[in-house]
Amino acid sequence: MKKYLLLLCFMGLVQLAFAGERNELPIKTETLIMKDSVVIEFGKSGKVLIIVESKEDFEKLKLMNINQIISELDLEENKETGELTIVEIRKRDGSVKEVVKVYEGSGETEVNVAGVRVYVDESGENTRVKVETGARKMSDPPFRTYFTVDLGINNYLDNGKFPTSDNPYAVKGWGSWQVGLNWMAAQRISKGFHWNFGLGFHWYNFKFENRDFQAVRGDDQIEFIQRTDVDGFKSKISASYLTATTLLELDFGQMKDKGKRGFKLAAGPYIGYRLGGQSKYVYEELGGSGRQKDKEATGLYLENLRYGIRGELGIHRVKFFTTYDLNELFQGGKGPALNPITFGIVF
């Protein structure tokens, strides 16, 4: 079935290749000139035919090797079967019109001629034929730069567990946002395998579940005091970082020539330097004097460096991420031993 399809496609492509020239070139009688030829046989049935028109060409041929000839033709060789087919279409004046490339893989065949590509896939139960015209778009360039935005929800682990509500620093998920602006670059290592790296600005918020507690800077450590003299509305700690990230990514969609219609997996380390940090407490006087805000710089007891592991999972055009800090949020002995963790989505 595949041979008949390829024969029909090939006949149609040759017709298109020569249709525009039949009216331009006059019909003339040519005298066939006998030429010397060299036939190189390899494998079980592999053959390479070389036609030599003059003694000078033969002298140049002796200086070349078969690997150089194959590389100059810019053809892809099937490493498993060694199948490589070359068909030349020549004009009446002897010049080369087009080189038809036929690649046969395991159950798949590709024919390229005159900017048209025909794919025949017989790997499944049904035979599929796909025709592409025009130049192929570079869906997986060797190097590219891009910009992403992270939006996530923060929490932290206390001895491997999320803090319970009876702790004053227990985090409320909604409102504990993480926002990141990332300038990234991607270097292709192989098909569907990339090294991604870049810099970003990240803002972290940890909104306390118990809004009656306020985080303040004590003499030698951070303290969580309960405010009974006011009605608390919101209490949180925030910090900002300049972060460098590097990831190794596997794009299964590009590996299977499906573009962005596939899974992506990425993982790698990051390290960040703290730019600022503070606590914020929003409250109202018991007598009802309107909302007020207290801000206090608690950055003295936050770690200046943060480092950890980032993972990403992409499903079609949607990408999720998670980060986990391997070091603690506060300096040793200056606050509870908390390791921040984030879950979110990448835009």
How would you classify the pairing of strands 305-315 and 263-285? antiparallel
Length of the chain: 347
Higher pLDDT, 71 or 304: 304
Mean pLDDT across 74-93: 56
Using the structure block, give the residue that is written with the tokens 């991420």: 321
Residue 238 predicted with pLDDT over 60: yes
Residues 119-177: pLDDT tens digits?
777 777 777 777 776 555 546 788 999 999 999 999 999 988 999 988 999 998 888 99
Characterize 122-158 residue by residue with b for buried, 16 or more Cβ atoms within 10 angstroms of its Cβ, and e for exposed: beeeeeeeeeeeeeeeeebeeeeeeebebebbbbbbe
Report pLDDT for 56: 75
- Contacting residues for 332 by C-beta, under 8 A, at least 6 apart: none
Q: Which neighbouring-strand residues pair with 222?
A: 217
Structure tokens at 122: 């017989």
Report pLDDT for 220: 86
Report pLDDT for 76: 53
Q: Which long-range contacts (CB under 8 A, 24 or more apart) does 134-142 make?
A: 139/254, 139/259, 140/188, 140/191, 140/192, 140/251, 140/254, 141/188, 142/187, 142/188
Which residue in 340, 314, 305 sits closest to 152, CA to CA?
A: 340
Report pLDDT for 134: 59
Lowest mean pLDDT among 127-131, 148-152, 217-221, 308-312: 127-131
Residue 21 predicted with pLDDT over 50: no
Q: What is the mean pLDDT of the chain?
A: 78
